[in-house]
């Protein structure tokens, strides 16, 4: 990684221990989350404003990879606007908490084209017609675990809707990578917004007033792309 920097907006939680324990409950489905890689955390989460939906009811899946919950926050907002199921992408081996170690590892993975194994797949991906696909910008690219997801799940014939959080550097090649890896999908205009920046000690940024601002941005985007 050049200059030893990972340009990421959606970074590490300060304490991952409690989250890892919660992931042990992955066989239990939470409201709006799929059984498997369900997600629970201590983030500022708004009450869901619509009843939990199943794939049979609206066939929308919201896939996300999140570190300090900025991308998670956008995923939750999307769910509140369009319904659907949330699925958190989790690498089988968690990334290191130390920032410099993370930077080095992600750089090596990108250089080698390595895609890390995941904790669990979406077993019934064929049941979904629309897949929202969200991640932070890492090293100006799509994070390696999201590349793994695209290699392991066939999104052909589906509507794929990218979304992104970043530290002010933009999406990099992330959206192009999604298009390249989903040649037989209808890839819509993506959404991007600024989240945190771990390098500067800014972690969860999409909260309080900022969460309201991002909600308005998401609503405008969804209307524009007619979702």
Indicate yes or no: pTM above 0.75: yes
Helical residues (DSSP H) of the chain, grouped into ranges: 17-23, 55-58, 70-82, 99-112, 144-152, 174-181, 208-224
Give residue 34's pLDDT band: very low, low, confident or very high (50, 70, 90): low
Give residue 54's pLDDT band: very low, low, confident or very high (50, 70, 90): very low
When pLDDT is averaged across residues 115-134 and rounded to a whole number, the result is 96
Least confident of 39-48, 63-72, 212-221: 39-48
| CB-side neighbour CA atoms (13 Å) of 29 | 11
Q: What percent of the chain has pLDDT over 70?
A: 74
What sign has the CA pseudo-torsion 104, 108, 111, 117?
Answer: negative
Return the higher-pLDDT residue of 4 and 39. 39
Q: Is 146 helix (H, G, I), strand (E, B) or coil?
A: helix
Q: Whose CA is closest to 86, among 105, 116, 44, 58? A: 58
Place of tokens 């983030």: 43
The pLDDT tens digits for 186-212 are 999 999 999 988 888 888 999 999 999
pLDDT tops 80 at residue 33: no
Q: Is 61 helix (H, G, I), strand (E, B) or coil?
A: strand
Q: What end-to-end distance do the CA atoms of the chain give, in Å?
A: 37
Paired tokens of 87: 């699925």
Domain 2-39+51-224 has CATH 3.40.50.360: yes
Please tell me the distance from the alpha carbon of residue 180 to that of residue 188, in angstroms, as a whole number: 13
Instruction: Please state whether beta strands 191-194 and 85-88 pair in parallel, antiparallel, or not at all (unpaired).
Output: unpaired
Arithmetic mean of pLDDT over the chain:
81
Q: Kindly state the greatest CA–CA separation across the chain.
A: 48
């Amino acid at each position: 990684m050049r200059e030893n920097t990972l340009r990421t907006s959606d970074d590490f939680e300060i304490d991952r221990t409690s989250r890892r324990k919660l992931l042990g409950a992955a066989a239990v489905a939470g409201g709006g989350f799929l059984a498997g890689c369900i997600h629970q955390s201590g983030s500022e989460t708004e009450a869901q404003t619509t009843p939990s939906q199943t794939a049979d009811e609206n066939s929308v899946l919201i896939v996300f990879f999140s570190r300090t919950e900025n991308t998670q926050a956008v995923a939750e907002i999307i769910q509140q606007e369009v319904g659907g199921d949330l699925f958190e992408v989790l690498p089988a081996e968690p990334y290191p908490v130390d920032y410099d170690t993370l930077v080095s590892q992600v750089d090596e993975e990108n250089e080698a084209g390595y895609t890390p194994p995941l904790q669990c797949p979406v077993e019934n991906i064929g049941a979904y017609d629309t897949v929202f696909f969200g991640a932070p910008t890492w090293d100006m690219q799509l994070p390696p675990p999201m590349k793994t997801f695209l290699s392991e799940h066939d999104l052909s014939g589906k509507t794929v809707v990218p979304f992104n959080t970043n530290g002010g550097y933009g999406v990099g090649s992330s959206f192009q990578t999604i298009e390249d890896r989903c040649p037989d999908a209808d890839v819509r205009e993506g959404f991007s917004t600024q989240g945190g920046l771990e390098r500067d000690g800014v972690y969860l940024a999409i909260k309080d007033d900022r969460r309201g601002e991002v909600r308005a941005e998401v609503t405008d985007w969804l209307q524009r792309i007619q979702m």
